Structure 1
Amino acid sequence: MAQSDTLIRLRYRVFPDHLIGELLAKSWIDNAIPFIALIAVIAAFGSITPDFFALSNLSDLGRQVAEFGLVVLGLAIVVISGGIDLSVGAVFSLAVLFALLGVNVLAWSIPLVLVATLALGVVCGALNGMLIGYLRLRAFLTTLVTLIIFRSIYEIAFLHFSTALVSGNIDSNLWDFLGAGSVLGIPFSLLLAVLIALIWHMVLSRMRPGWRLMAVGGARRSAYNAGINVRRTVFFAYVWSSGLAALAGFLFAARLGSTGSDTGIGLEVSALTAVVLGGNSLGGGRGSVSKAVMGALLVLILTNSLINFGVTGPVTSMILGCVLIGAVFIDMRWLKNREKLLSKVYVAPTYLALPAPPRASDPGSPYALNDKLRNVEIIGQGLVEGPEDIILDRDDNLYCGTRQGDIVRFLAPDYKQHEIFAHIGGHPLGMAFDRTDNLLVCIGGMGLYQVAPDRQVTKLTDETNRRLFSIVDDSRLRLADDLDIAPDGRVYFSEATVRYEQEDWATDAVEGRGNGRVICYDPRSGTTRTEIHNLVFANGVALASDGQSFLFAEAWTCRISRYWFDGPRKGQTAPVLSNLPGYPSNINRSSDGHYWVALLGMRTPALDLAQAMPGFRRRMARRVAPDLWLYPNINTGCVIRFSETGEVKETLWDLGGVNHPMVTSVREHKGYLYLGGISNNRIGRYKLDGADPTWCALDSYWGKSA
């Protein structure tokens, strides 16, 4: 290897570029900017503000965070739903006044005051929700009007009851505890706010109401078409917003025990600043509790620090307004450019040098060109689309998957009649029958499924163990594509890539990275674990004759290897076929004890050269439209029969690509070879000379049926 190639290989091993794209693709990356800003603000003001980290100051800050954070959380819920609530400050002030009236004037019990205050918030939110959710008025103007109305009610009531509020007094330990009490040194109000925040985190990230909020905020028409009650969802978003603002007002009243003419003024601006500054999108459909909390902390620390430095209220409001404008600008620019940036850096090619391909044009080559597949018999032309894999049962019936999410069965002996054997929803890829004639299927984007003889569909697994330091979520199965079954029932299946979905499978070739793996599903324990990592487009699995190992294909490295999962060589890997003339796909047994492998496409000098030039491929991915990228050639079909020792026994070509231009699967059954192709609309059948006319793969695996 040339020194320059060694340096290139070392550079891409030491500096894995794909990590940048994977980080930008994570939903939590939106939290990075507000988190860094929060740390910077704490460090800056903590170093110049006296007693910033004193326990008394932190305790007081905790109580303020509880009250302000609840208001911000409520507003964030509305913003996530695609709306805005400018009335939260007025609702907050009304709740403060109402709570103090209940305690100091009406002498109600504390629980009754709490319930009444929350009911007040619910009524205010219901008014907003009814006008915006059901009557479909504009959120900005509507909540601006209700802000004026609620604020006017507060000022009228405050003038009327101000004397009674000042003269009233209550002696209640519970009231004092709610306002100033602590649990293990932590303010009670802060613990309550944290509990509510955790509940809402679960709602937004793990529960249907949260998903519906996100869906409504992201695209209301699409949410409506999906069956979501948009009006009800919007209605309750405003109810929760005002309810949380009322709870914050109750805690504020308990802490200070008084109110004034300026209570709640400007709170809506501060809360909105916190929501946007935390990273919640004003466009709706994007946000989280953690963002709301970070935004609340940022605004509170900034506001309190400015007050400590003697900055007047109007100046503080002006600064907050400027911060809000800046946050909105950053949010809009980030939202607009994030996908552009991600599209430029997510595809991260790496160094992949292949040896010169074998000369198939040489008559003495084991891969010598021929046209034996040109005149294969055609089955089901135009009746199926995308039969990536095919399989036959003991009764000679033929099964294949389609892009429409069906498994189609062609009935023996002439395969003229066909039926939908099962509808799964995703594109069925690799298939295998187990000992009891259940059909196990790899479904692109869905995982491993089972279809019983009575056509009952069951999900076996759609996830595996996640690696500790993996940024991309490699626990989810993105592209399980082929499988085989061990004698004890364990299922070994290949997954081509953990970075791309099925529709983008060819993009993985541009990377040439070890994104694939082989996974084991054990039906005895119901567990799934990854057996082999870092495979370059793992695309075929076949159990070896010893029952202790399997063969697996890596498409972009053009090789087939053997892995021992049991026995004295457990955990070892050995090469079987290297430097193939094309990209290997599904592997299956042959009647003479050897194996068939389908080559889904042929190597080309241009792509082979580009694989050793990751910089060129990176520039191509960033500067050229994806439909003009350099992809593998998939227009010529080829089938190879080989032994476990890597000896090529036979090669079958369709040079013109007339009847079977792409081959992704090959099955031998009773003297015939059946061909499938993910880009084809037909199944091919080729008569094998000298093959055992009684051989059935199921008998080879499980023995003759009784």
Structure 2
Amino acid sequence: MTASTEVRPVPARRRPPERNVLENENLGTRLRHLRYRFSPQQLFAELFEKRWMEPAIPLAILVGVIVFFSIAAPGFATTANLLSSATELAEISLVCLGMAVVMISGGIDLSVGSMFGLCNIVVLLLITVVGVPVVPAILLTIVVGAVLGSVNGSIVAYLKARPFLTTLVTLIIFRGVLNLLDLHYSAQTAMVFLMDPVWDWFSTGKVAGIPFSFVTLLVVLVAGHLLLSRSRFGWHVTAVGASRRAARHAGIRVERVLLLGYVISGALCALAGVFYAARLGSASARVGEGMELSVLTAVILGGISLSGGKGTVWRAFIGAATISLLGKGLLLMDVGGEVLQTALAVVLIIAVGLDTKWGKNRGKAIQKTYVNPTLVEYGTPPDVRPGSGTRYEINDRLSDAEEIGLGEVEGPEDVILDDQGRIYCGTRQGWILRFSGEDYRDREIFARIGGHPLGLAFDSAGDLIVCVGGMGLYAVSPDGKHRKLSDETNRTWTRLRDDSRLRLPDDLDIAPDGKIYFSEATNRFEMADWVLDGIEGRPNGRLLCYDPATGKTRTAVPDLVFPNGVCCSHDGESVLIAQTWLCRILRYWHSGPKKGRLEVFMDNFPGYVDNINRGSGGAYWIAICGMRSPAYDLAMRMPKFRRRMMKRIPRDEWLYPSMNHGCVVRVSERGEVLDTYWDPGGKKHSTITSMREHDGYLYIGGLENNRIGRIKVREVPAAAAGEARRTRHASVS
């Protein structure tokens, strides 16, 4: 067999990924393997999947605007113009951020321009007319902005008024107040000169050469990002914007969330008004006039939905930067105001159209490119036909197996027995069942975890350690209470995707030193789509190690092709790892003279190997959950065929690995096949995923079974009948 991973010594600190074994292959074969190993399609799929790729179109338009005006507009790319643009950008961006928060919550604020202009004159009046010092005047102005925002929020949230009409009315009211103040105090605010260091800092101050207003904007952006994406309030804002009824049913105080959104908008408008007043040193009734249209254009351009429930502060900033730089560039090109408005309208139409297309088709693009088949080559499978005389010859030894819990269990992927001889197994409902009593007739729910329990093992304290699909590694105490041990590991920083979260923990075993070795079958696919990993055939899995002493999980062996079963060797120095799609078993030495070495234990099985467990007499039991077929072996050598299959025919018509046979294999410590147990056609035990030897009997579980099987083990010496009980090593703290 030409295996699809290289086996070699692996350094203890950083183990390189498995590669195809190509030592005996010619250069053409090597290049063919490498061609499918490194594919741009996977990079693009993972790139499109990232959340920060959602504003790809607005960001592309922003970059296009910068490049165009850097070439077409003289002086656009100069340091002086960039600093000036950063100051003006900070002011409009702060207003856009306030509008963004309101729109994400499902509202709209048309009064932002009037609040901006009103707060601009308020801060100057507080300083010049009232005589308030600069710092208190700035703080009072922000409070005034928050109060103005609370007026909008109170009417919308508690009086149930429509946001559009409400803020349109308050726009007129706030603008009227601004006109009155300008009428009576225009002389005092027409030109203001202040000799105050704080005021100078707000007007011309710089931090490392960057305008203070822009630095403040960056701080607000980071704070806004953390608020919306990492805080309960931010989650509530998004939930209210997505569906007020659903948010209310979830216990969210919708009215308070809406009110606070408008308060934040008013406060940010006030802060922008303060920077504007400090920069120009004057106020008038025209300040902020028409700003609401520019702000609304910028926010929509950034991709924030008018229907609510979608958007980020960064998208609002992208839109604001596009509008601000577009206006600055046209001004440098001596373009009139009417052309500017037309250009804004054209850019908005193009951007919204492209962004809508991108939003609708991004998911489809990911779906069509995410599964990226690679080259996997198998050797000729062993002959399993009756009368073939091979070690794998089909028999019917499982046909008469006893049936435990028939119809009372769904999908017992793994089975295990305790010291009292009671049977434990997981179910699709997220339960761990326990069978006891005469002929195991007594059934009880031992624990309710939630996810599908897969691999099981007892530690020295009597806790049942469980790999839970989609959740992580858990421990269940003897009284049935469960606790999480780990749901993440160290991230691979050289990868685009964050692989720190555990997606499909599968099987586990406990080493003599108490460390728990467990497999993650795939970190690219969720549990419901695990079979897609077989179609892809890439090294998406890994062997992990949880240390109870530190409570930390680390990656012991990365980049394995669907590592499934895990079993510590009898001498406790190595771990056996079943690679389902490669039909082989690896041995990883975690201690002893071969520490750090990864090598092949057995290869070229006639089917897809699953769990592994220790047996009596130094043997091991291996479950075969499905059989290889010539058609699928051929398909695995044809990545382009599998790719076309996924694109051209419905998913329920794809060619999948055959998972409809039942077989258990007993092998020696040296990897020699000693015995096999078959259920031809899988009539009673199809898709066998686990088996456990206990006191001379073999207990059988399967992912698609509705029973647990039990059969007497053939030719087991009496002295060795109890050797296969689980070795208890160390408790999990």
CA contact (8 A) 1:104 1:169 kept: no
Amino acid at match of 1:487: P
Which residue in 2 is equivalent to 1:308?
332
Match of 1:360 among 350, 375, 384: 384
Deviations 1:268-318 (A, max 9, x none): 222223223334344433322332223222221111111122222232122
Q: Deviations over 1:7-34 (max 9, x none)?
A: 6434212435222211111111124444
Q: Give the whole-Å Cα distance in 2 for the aligned partners of 1:446 and 1:647.
A: 36
What does 1:481-496 align with in structure 2 at a 5 Å threshold? 481-496=506-521
Whether the 8 Å CA contact 1:542–1:587 is kept in 2: the answer is yes
Residue 370 (structure 2) aligns with: 346
CA distance in 1, matches of 2:315, 2:391: 62
Match among 684, 692, 695 for residue 722 of structure 2: 695
Indicate yes or no: 2:133 matched with 1:100. no
> Aligned residues, how many?
703
1:89 corresponding residue in structure 2 = 113
SS at match of 2:488: coil
Alignment of 1:243 with 2:270, yes or no, is no
**Which residue identity is paired with 1:86?**
L
1:497 paired with 2:522, answer yes
Distance 1:677 1:139, change over 3 A: farther
Whether 1:560 and 2:624 are equivalent positions in the alignment is no
Q: Which secondary structure state, in structure 1, belongs to the residue aligned with residue 54 of structure 2?
A: helix
Greater relative CO, 1 or 2 (CA 8 Å, sep 6+):
2
Residues 247, 596 of structure 1: CA spacing in aligned structure 2 closer, same or farther, 3 A cutoff? same
Question: Which of these residues, 39, 52, 68, is aligned with residue 63 of structure 2?
Answer: 39
RMSD of the TM alignment (CA)? 2.3
Once residues 634 and 25 of structure 1 are traced to their aligned partners in structure 2, the CA distance between those partners, rounded to angstroms, is 30
Alignment CA distance shift 1:472-1:428 (3 Å)? same
Q: Is the 8 A contact 1:103 1:170 kept in 2?
A: no
The alpha-carbon distance between structure 1 residues 121 and 157, as it changes in their structure 2 partners (threshold 3 A), is same
Determine the structure 2 residue equivalent to 1:571: 596
Residues 356/155 of structure 1: CA separation in 2 closer, same or farther (3 Å cut)? farther
Q: 1:378 to 1:148 in 2, by over 3 A?
A: farther
CA distance in 2, matches of 1:655, 1:152: 87
**Alignment check: 8 A CA contact 1:483 1:491 kept:** yes
Closer, same or farther in 2 for the Cα pair 1:167/1:245, shift >3 Å?
Answer: closer
Q: TM-score, normalised by structure 1?
A: 0.94
Aligned pairs for 1:43-442 (under 5 A) are: 43-166=67-190, 170-363=194-387, 364-442=389-467
Task: Name the amino acid aligned to 2:63.
Answer: I
For 2:135, give the aligned amino acid: P
Change (3 A) 1:375 1:561: same
Partner of 2:20: none
Amino acid at match of 1:256: L
**SS at 2:611 equivalent:** strand
State the one-letter code of the partner of 2:432.
Answer: I
Give the Cα–Cα distance (whole angstroms) in 2 for the partners of residues 565 and 186 of structure 1: 53
In structure 2, distance between residues paired with 1:483 and 1:250:
61
What letter matches 2:554 in structure 1? R
User: Alignment partner of 1:684: what SS?
Assistant: strand
Q: Structure 1 CA distance, aligned partners of 2:40 and 2:663?
A: 34
1:656 to 665, 681, 687: 681
- Deviation, 1:525, is 2.3
Structure 1 CA distance for aligned equivalents of residues 169 and 67 of structure 2: 40
* Equivalent in the alignment of 1:19: 43
In structure 2, the residue matched to 1:586 is 611
Distance 1:53 1:167 in 2: 31
Matched residues in 2 for 1:240 and 1:470: separation?
Answer: 37
1:152 partner amino acid: G
* Aligned mate of 1:519, from 514, 525, 544: 544
* Deviates further, 521-530 or 276-285: 276-285
Deviation at 1:698?
Answer: 4.3
Contact kept, 8 Å, 1:105 with 1:165, in 2: the verdict is no
Instruction: Give the C-alpha shift of residue 413 in structure 1.
Output: 4.4
User: Distance in 2 between the 1:415 and 1:614 partners?
Assistant: 48
Gapped regions of structure 1 (runs ≥ 5): none
Deviates more, 1:593-602 or 1:689-698: 689-698
SS at match of 2:688: coil
Change (3 A) 1:114 1:696: farther
Q: Distance in 1 between matches of 2:258 and 2:646?
A: 41
Query: Do the aligned partners of 2:412 and 2:708 also contact (CA within 8 Å) in 1?
Result: yes
Q: Is the 8 A contact 2:57 2:351 kept in 1?
A: no
Q: Is the 8 A contact 1:395 1:412 kept in 2?
A: no
* Residues 413, 689 of structure 2: 8 Å contact kept: yes
Greater displacement, 92-101 / 105-114: 105-114
- How far apart in 1 are the matches of 2:162 and 2:656? 49
Q: Give the secondary structure class of the aligned counterpart of 1:599.
A: strand
Equivalent-residue separation in structure 1 for 2:415 and 2:394 (angstroms): 25
Structure 2: 5+ residue stretches without partners:
1-24
Q: Any conservation in 2 of the 1:105–1:168 contact (CA below 8 Å)?
A: no
Report the CA distance between 1:204 and its aligned residue: 2.2
Between 136-145 and 425-434, the greater mean CA deviation after superposition: 136-145
Contact kept, 8 Å, 1:676 with 1:682, in 2: the verdict is yes
Judged with a 3 Å threshold, the aligned counterparts in structure 2 of structure 1 residues 22 and 222 are, in CA distance, closer, same or farther, namely farther
Code of the aligned partner of 1:470: R
Q: Which amino acid aligns with 1:196?
A: V
Q: SS where residue 664 of structure 1 aligns?
A: strand
In 2, Cα distance between the equivalents of 1:696 and 1:476?
Answer: 36
User: Do the aligned partners of 1:558 and 1:580 also contact (CA within 8 Å) in 2?
Assistant: yes
SS of residue in 1 equivalent to 2:681: coil
What TM-score results when the alignment is normalised by the length of structure 2? 0.91
Q: Distance in 2 between matches of 1:425 and 1:531?
A: 27
Task: Say which SS state the counterpart of residue 645 (structure 1) adopts.
Answer: coil
